[in-house]
Structure 1
Amino acid sequence: MAELNPALVPLSLYIHMPWCVRKCPYCDFNSHAVPDGKLSLDLEQEYLQALVADFKTQLDFAQGRKIHSVFIGGGTPSLISAKGYVWLFNQLKSIIAFEDGCEITLEANPGTVEHDPFAGYLEAGINRLSIGVQSFNTDHLKKLGRIHSNDDAINAIHLARDAGFERINVDLMHGLPEQTLEQALLDLKLAVENGATHVSWYQLTIEPNTVFFRTQPILPVDDVLEDIQEQGEAYLKAHGFVNYEVSAWRKEKPSAHNLNYWQFGDYLAIGAGAHGKVTRPDGVYRFQKTRLPKDYLAKVPAEHLQFKRIEDEDMPFEFMMNALRLNEGVEAKLYHERTGLSLDGLNKLLTSLRSRQLMVEDQSRLSCTEQGHVFLNSVLEEFL
């Protein structure tokens, strides 16, 4: 492996807010219900202070770089007050500078009791919202354990736009319990017509350690799922949305933060259970943080758990698992730049995938063909 130059790798920041009003039956994320559905000011302040202490321990990982993008995920990050985010970003920027125009995304739920007025988040420096709608169908929302209604979801998008947000992602799931084709398409229609500029549209999967895994709901049959996928994609394309990643559709510029993940960029990680990736001259490393909020708060500054170098033999899969999610893939030269490995070591495999029309013939890019995207998991397995 050649020596890596971290200065060539964009550096993002992931912040995990672990609390939500109520745990959804499909959710396997590191989220924990707060008592009475409201985060106390004392707990908010304690957690924000822990985030800053955690961030200070990662200063060496920055190696002179500025923060390229920020994503605040959860849980329900909009349970944290706008005032809390003002304080947090002032502290973080005093430790590591942010790039001019840094994209800062906040995940927000549509329920009006779950957040401050959106204008407050905009004033705090957050310039992109990702609203967790999941569905505009009230019956489906109840089955998913969501506490908002169809009206709440539509109202949230309009309130965000009225507050001044120009970049609004709407998270939608399809293949919901007993969902019909018409209902799935109506969800997309309502997102588009009410002002979403970006749509994350993905199929519900039943994950272990969830209520749905223990009590399986009735899901649409395969033929219906295929029709939903095919007609949903056609609808989004007809309305000016570009499918630039497996489940991401945009009418504006792509998410800088997600692009950095998929292009094998670096990201610091603060918060309970947060995962990070950093490049050093001697290799690429991953780490994570203590998962339970109470344990995380007891470890300040937080430890870098499982701080582990990605082995050379694992690097092709790690890189391609991200890069090939992008419809246009990445420039081939990025492989050596981000991994330190020569692409020559993959020539035989790449030639085979190209001959089977699973990857594009253009050798200056690493990208799947349309057929390759259909069988993406099988393509990725070949890099293991």
Structure 2
Amino acid sequence: MLIPPPLALYVHLPWCVRKCPYCDFNSHQGKDGLPFDAYVDALLRDLDHDLPLVWGRTVHSVFFGGGTPSLFPPETIDRFLQGASSRLRFAPGLEVTLETNPGTAEHGRFEHYRAAGVNRISFGIQSFDDASLQKLGRIHDSREAEHAVKLAQDAGFDNLNLDLMYALPGQTLAMAEHDLQRAFALQPAHVSHYQLTLEPNTVFFARPPQGIPDDDLAWDMQEHCQALLADAGYRHYEVSAYARAGRRCAHNLNYWRYGDYIGIGAGAHGKITVGATQQVLRRWKVKHPTAYLAAAGTPDAIGGDDDITPERRPFEFMLNALRLQDGFALADFTATTGLPAKHIATPLEQARQRGWLALSGTNVMLTALGRRFTNDVIELFLDH
């Protein structure tokens, strides 16, 4: 039997000041006079349309992603959260994250975001090296990055994440270390540290920048930076996520544990377990903001629905759960996929024999070797 897991709410705010050349997210360069109020109205209509899928369930986290959510004035975030909390049951003290570009941070805004109910800020810093930021097409410099973080701290935010990238064009090992040291000086609760990748349908994929470190140097950066993060008190709990005690990202943890989430907004994706029909449903919305604004709250806003069959669920589960350093419990696999553990006994044993997975009682996790062959491990669970 499928048991509906914890539920989260993802809200996509699609506009940004300028599209970064490495970005493959559904983001659109905004012009003057963005329709903030009309978009909040559309979000609430969208939520109303999806509500029958989650009647009576409690939301444990909210995440505003983008685009650049911090383009939205605090009063629009406040109006959305008030509208959403009147439609859904919000857990007491739930985590509410707002992604923020340091180039859009303004004095006084963070106080109002906090008053609206936002209690976690995720800053897209990427680097503290000004030349690297220019190569990445960012609209901020290192001074603005530090200033933005301090503005949020002055406003009372103590749950802050800093996004940093490594293996940047022209970056050396010393430069990657320097970025982390600048981050540590700001004492964030959480650091997301991930390698620059050239994703299809991006400017960098079509025209790769010169000086991208080779695989050996990128690996050296990863290992060295992981050690620095550990020494600074950040526990590595997911492929690219590091947190101080008690500060792991609840929203992202729910993804990695194959939890449920409503996805509203242009191009947003959701995953819902429907207990009555024993379905796992993935739903996504139309991508372009203009089309979304026109159709939100109607079936025309749905870009597609995908019923995840039992044969596909083990692969989907592993694609998420094996990102976690602590792995997963077999009981959680059974609850969220509706399949008995014996259903994956063969691929589990194959991976164990190859030294990729370790089994401790009823818990499964990647070994150090398995982390270097994660894609191969996950492929073992295709069509099981």
* TM-score for the superposition, normalised by structure 1: 0.95
Deviations 1:337-382 (A, max 9, x none): 0011111021122122112221112141121112211211111111
> What code does the residue aligned with 1:52 have?
L
User: Is 1:197 matched with 2:189?
Assistant: yes
Runs of 5+ in structure 2 lacking a partner? none
User: Is 1:58 matched with 2:50?
Assistant: yes
User: Is 1:21 matched with 2:17?
Assistant: yes
User: Is 1:188 matched with 2:186?
Assistant: no
Q: Which residue of 2 aligns with 1:308?
A: 306
Q: Which residue of 2 aligns with 1:359?
A: 357
User: Is 1:295 matched with 2:288?
Assistant: no
In the alignment, the residues of structure 2 paired with residue 167 and residue 318 of structure 1 have an alpha-carbon distance, to the nearest angstrom, of 30
In the alignment, the residues of structure 1 paired with residue 304 and residue 189 of structure 2 have an alpha-carbon distance, to the nearest angstrom, of 37
In the alignment, the residues of structure 2 paired with residue 115 and residue 94 of structure 1 have an alpha-carbon distance, to the nearest angstrom, of 30
- Deviation for aligned residue 1:188: 0.8
Number of residues paired by the alignment? 376
In the alignment, the residues of structure 2 paired with residue 326 and residue 23 of structure 1 have an alpha-carbon distance, to the nearest angstrom, of 30
| Percent of pairs with identical residues | 47
Matches within 5 A, 1:30-179: 30-36=26-32, 39-40=33-34, 43-112=35-104, 117-179=109-171
Contact 2:60-2:90 within 8 A present in 1 as well: yes
In the alignment, the residues of structure 1 paired with residue 137 and residue 225 of structure 2 have an alpha-carbon distance, to the nearest angstrom, of 24
Contact 1:81-1:115 within 8 A present in 2 as well: no
User: Is 1:374 matched with 2:372?
Assistant: yes
Q: Which residue of 2 aligns with 1:250?
A: 243
The verdict on how the C-alpha distance between 1:113 and 1:160 changes in structure 2, with shifts beyond 3 A counting, is: closer
In the alignment, the residues of structure 2 paired with residue 325 and residue 49 of structure 1 have an alpha-carbon distance, to the nearest angstrom, of 36
1:361 aligns to what SS in structure 2? Answer: strand
User: Is 1:263 matched with 2:261?
Assistant: no
Deviations 1:54-91 (A, max 9, x none): 00111112131111101100000000011111111111
Deviations 1:116-160 (A, max 9, x none): 621111111000000000000000000100010010111111111
Larger CA deviation: 222-231 vs 119-128: 222-231
In the alignment, the residues of structure 2 paired with residue 111 and residue 29 of structure 1 have an alpha-carbon distance, to the nearest angstrom, of 19
Larger CA deviation: 219-228 vs 289-298: 219-228
Q: Which of residues 200, 204, 217 in structure 2 aligns to 1:208?
A: 200
Larger CA deviation: 16-25 vs 371-380: 371-380
In the alignment, the residues of structure 1 paired with residue 138 and residue 282 of structure 2 have an alpha-carbon distance, to the nearest angstrom, of 33
The verdict on how the C-alpha distance between 1:325 and 1:113 changes in structure 2, with shifts beyond 3 A counting, is: closer
Q: Which residue of 1 aligns with 2:269?
A: 275
Deviations 1:181-232 (A, max 9, x none): 1111111111111121100000000011111112111201222212111110
Larger CA deviation: 307-316 vs 318-327: 307-316
In the alignment, the residues of structure 1 paired with residue 83 and residue 369 of structure 2 have an alpha-carbon distance, to the nearest angstrom, of 47
Larger CA deviation: 352-361 vs 100-109: 352-361
In the alignment, the residues of structure 1 paired with residue 201 and residue 351 of structure 2 have an alpha-carbon distance, to the nearest angstrom, of 36
CA RMSD of aligned residues (A): 1.3
* TM-score for the superposition, normalised by structure 2: 0.95
